[in-house]
A = this chain, B = another copy of it.
Amino acid sequence: MTAESPTTTRGRRADAERNRERILEAARAVVGEQGTQASLRDVARRADVGLGTLYRHFPTREALLETLLRERFDGLAARAAELGRSLEPAAALTEWLHGFILSTGGYRGLAGSLMATLNDEDSPLHASCLAMREAAGQLLGRAQESGRIRPDVDGTDLFALVNALGWIADQAPSAADRGAHLFTVFMDGLKTRPASGAPDPAGP
């Protein structure tokens, strides 16, 4: 019997796995500091790994971001379904959008990456983003059916807007809450307004 460490089940694979984890850890730190556009060289340096090793594990920048962001996106999609069951439609929508902005804000460049990913069918994150946008679209559709939300906005519109508001926070550190405020103004705009002086349209 040659030496074989108990944790190493398949030859050298454990080293590779450890490198993968180091790269992800470094990427979380560097992307957190520099945003989505962070230098991959910085990530490799931080992980104490050759640049080629990074590319071996994550052949493209998208592939690296995928691993960092997919959980977050899938979590947001799941939360949409959850809120759809537990709250009335309009409240579920507002609550989900609020959570989206919180979970997404402060991640510089994320808004742009999200929009780019939605427009690129070949991106590994495309499916996750689309699922998330459609989960939000479901909440919107139900809120519109309830008559409390204007019918002339669709899920794509709304998602683009929320991303645009997130983009504002990218521009200046001070502007982080400006987006949140504008969001409430916009949500007011989304609510249907009763014809002035007329009774509720629900009971003719």
Chain A positions near chain B (C-beta within 8 angstroms): 112, 115-116, 119, 150, 152-153, 156-157, 160-161, 163-165, 167-168, 171-172, 175, 178-179, 181-182, 185-190, 193-194, 196-197
Residue of B with least CB distance to A173: B119
Which label, helix, strand, loop or mixed, suits the secondary structure of the A interface? helix
Chain B residues lying within 8 Å of A186, measured Cβ to Cβ, are: 185-186, 189
Chain B residues lying within 8 Å of A194, measured Cβ to Cβ, are: 196-197
User: How far, in whole Å, are A183 and B24 apart by their CA atoms in the complex?
Assistant: 39
User: How far, in whole Å, are A156 and B112 apart by their CA atoms in the complex?
Assistant: 22
Q: Are A178 and B197 in contact (CB under 8 A)?
A: no
Chain B residues lying within 8 Å of A165, measured Cβ to Cβ, are: 161, 164
Chain B residues lying within 8 Å of A163, measured Cβ to Cβ, are: 168
